[in-house]
A and B are shown apart, each in its own frame.
Chain A
C-alpha cells in the first residue's frame, strides 16, 4: 500500500535561490504530521509547492500523491484529487459572496472527479450544518470571501472549506498565526473533528502551542530547507525547551 504523500529529495528554487535542498517526507492515511522550524527554514515553501503555487521552480526530486506525480498537475487538479492547503493568510475577495465561492469551488472539484454537481438545497443544507458546527453565522456566508473577517473568522472559513471539500490531505500553514487562544481553540476543534483514518494532515507551525490543540503523531523539524530531525509528539515539547538553535547548527 503506497503512501498518501511521498516527497522525495525535493529541491526548490525561488528566483535563483534554492530554498529546499533535498527534502523528503512520507505521510500515510490517518496520520497527523507536524512540521516545525524557524522562520525561513522552508516550511511555507513546502506547503506552497505541494499546493501548486506559481513562482517556485522544482529543480530536483518528486512529489507523489496517491502514487501520482503531483508536480505535473495544475493547482485545481490537485484540489480535485484531494489536496487542501489552509492558507496562512487567506485572501479577501471582494465582490465574490462566500456562498457563491463555496458552491463554485465544490462543484468544480466534483465535476473534475466526474461526480454530479450538488443541487442547491443539498448544498445549502450541508454548508449550514458545517457552518453551525464551527460557529460561523449565516450572515458571514453572504459577505464577500473573507472581506471584513477577523483573523479568527478567516481561519474558521478555511476549516469550513476543509470540512466541505472533504480532502484526503490537509496542509495547515501556520494556522495559529494571528489567533488568540479562544479563536485557536475553535479552529483546532474544527480540525480535530476532521481527523479520520482516511485523511492525513500536515500541520506547519512555528510554535508548539498549536500542537497542544492538534496533537500530532509525528513531528519533523526543518532547518535551512531540510528535515533535520523527526520524532513523536514529544519532540515538539523538547523544541519548546531548547529552541531551534541546535538544529540550525546541525543543518549548516
Chain B
C-alpha cells in the first residue's frame, strides 16, 4: 500500500449567531507513507493528531479531500461503495471496542460467518462450520464459543472475536485502531501476542494505531509520529525511539512514563507547555512551533518538509537533531525560566 499526500478536511460550523463562522479542521494534511507486505506500521499521536482518520481513510470509511491511496498499484482513494465490496475482503479493520462492532443478537458463529454471505465465493457452505472452528482455534477461543453471544465474553475475548471476524475474509491488511487500549495489562499482552503470531503465520500487514508508545514499539517494524494531522517523523522503531530528531517525538517519548523510569532520574522529563492548538487554526509555519522549546523565527514562517536532514530517517523539523543536553542537572524551578518550561500553560491553549 502506498499513501501519497493524503489530506482530509472536515468542514465545521462554529457555534455562533447565524453560523457564519465556518471553519475547516485539517484532520489529515499531506501524509505519505508506504506499507509493505507482512509489515507493521505504527501510527502514534495524541487526540486530534489524525491517526484514526488515516485509518478510516484507508479502509474507505472516509473519502480523502486530496491525495492518493494505492493498493497494489490500484488507486483506491475514490472508490464507490460497490467497488469497495471486492476490496473489503483484503482490507479489514479491528476497533478499540469490539463490543460496539459486534451485533449483540448474533452468536459468535453467526458473526464470523456473516461476511461469507456477502462474499459467497470464498468459503463453500459445507465448509463453514469447519472453517469457523479453525478461526476460533486460531484466535485462542474455545470451540464451544461459537454458540455463545458477545456479552458472555470478557473484553479480551471479545477482541479475539473481532479479530476472528476480520480474519474470516483472509485479509492482506488489517487496520487496528487502538485494539488493546481498553484492555487490562495482562490481557493486553495476550492480544498483542496473538496479533504478532497471526502476522507471522498469515503474512498480514498491519497499520497499528495507538497512543501507547511502548505497545507500538513492541509490535511495529516502522513508526510514524503524527502531530496535528502531519507526520513529523517516520522511521524504523529503533530510529524513531532511539534517534528521535524531531522535538515533538522527543517530548512525547520523554513524557510517557514507562516502567523503565524506575531507574531513571525523573528530572529528565521534558514537560511540554500548553496543549494542542486549535486544529481549525493551526500555527503558521511549523504546527508544533507554539509548544516547541527549540523554536526559532524561521519555524513560525516556514513549514518544514519531511526530509532526511542528515539522518537515516526523515524528520519535519528545520532544526532536527538529537536532544540537547537534557535539563536534568538543573533543579526543576529553574528549568521553568529556560527554554524548557515545566507546568506553566500557554495562553493560546484556551483561545
Interaction A to B: no
A residues contacting B by CB (< 8 A) are none
| Chain B residues within CB distance 8 Å of chain A | none
